[in-house]
Amino acid sequence: MPPYVEARGLFKIYQVADLEVVALQGLDLTIEAGELVAIVGASGSGKTTLLNILGGLDVPSAGRIVVGEYDLTRLSEHALVRYRREQVGFIWQQPARNLLPYLSVTQNIELPMLLAGLSPAERRRRCAALLTAVGLAGKATARPDELSGGEQQRVATAVALALDPPLLLADEPTGELDTETAAEVLVLFRHLCRSRGVTVVIVTHDLAVTAVADRVIRIRDGRVSSEAVRGDREEFVVIDRLGRLQLPATLRDQYGLVGRARVAAAGDHVGIWPAPQE
């Protein structure tokens, strides 16, 4: 079975005035179906760009990305819109971007179903199941501003799952929540991921996510630099299929590993040390 998400050599270049910003620099990424993956990295490292490409909101400048049976680089604009609507649920950092303030919780959750043409009976059935799944059965008639931030993100999660997409993408979903509430939302993601088989990708600064993620992938300068798999204590450097790796900045600085370096086998490992600079 091929992986659910396969990204190979993704580049994204933004043109700003007469300047080019390279947001992704040959990024490789593989995600299995049903995995809960956290993407972490400094601000500006390319996390949102990657998420937007995964969600079909943006297309890469080069490289290949396949999600399920969709080769996103080959879809027409029209097919990409359908992909977005049917295959992906989004949750944004700002609760306000996820929910319509003048609609009730139920109306918010049913809106995507209404637009997709589901019958009233089917909408009610799905909405009730989603409200239970996100633990808000008692808040069906509330308006978003009557809910806490955590509750709003739970409703947002229900909205994102309204049409049962196989992929859930969340960009800093806990960014505006306190630690405890953030942890609750993350546990909810984990539960949904397991109970509904949804593949979840969370972009986050929140290190609490490491407690729920199957894999934490660190992005630096538009490439995957390291990852930690659930259960491992260690974070591993990732070497891509071209043999490239990003040294942890601390080692680079400590050993002065910039420019020319020597690489050699040293028994069961490989050593890297600075070459005399000219």
- Site residues, ligand ADP (CB under 6 A): 14, 16, 21, 23, 41, 43-49
24: amino acid identity, one letter: L
Smallest distance, ligand ADP to C-beta of residue 111, A: 27
| 88, 169 Cβ separation under 8 angstroms | yes
23 binds, among Mg ion, ligand ADP, none (CB under 5 to 8 A by kind): ligand ADP
Closest separation between CB of residue 125 and ligand ADP, Å? 37
Concatenate the DSSP letters of all residues of 59-92 into one string: --SEEEEEETTEETTT--HHHHHHHHHHHEEEE-
Could you tell which of Mg ion, ligand ADP, none binds residue 271, using a CB distance below 5 to 8 A set by kind?
none
Looking at beta carbons only, is 10 or 36 nearer to ligand ADP? 10
Selection from 276, 238, 239 nearest residue 256 by Cα: 276
Minimum distance between the CB of residue 193 and Mg ion, rounded to whole angstroms?
A: 21
Residue nearest to Mg ion (CB): 48
Binding site for Mg ion (CB under 5 A): 48
Among the residues of the chain, which ranges form H helices?
A: 47-54, 77-87, 95-98, 105-115, 120-133, 149-160, 179-196, 249-254
Q: Select the binding partner of residue 101 from ligand ADP, Mg ion, none (C-beta < 5 to 8 A, by kind).
A: none
CA 201 to each of CA 35, 49, 154, 165, 216: distance values in angstroms, whole numbers, following the listed order:
8, 13, 16, 13, 10
14 binds, among ligand ADP, Mg ion, none (CB under 5 to 8 A by kind): ligand ADP
Q: How far is the CB of 63 from ligand ADP (least distance, A)?
A: 15
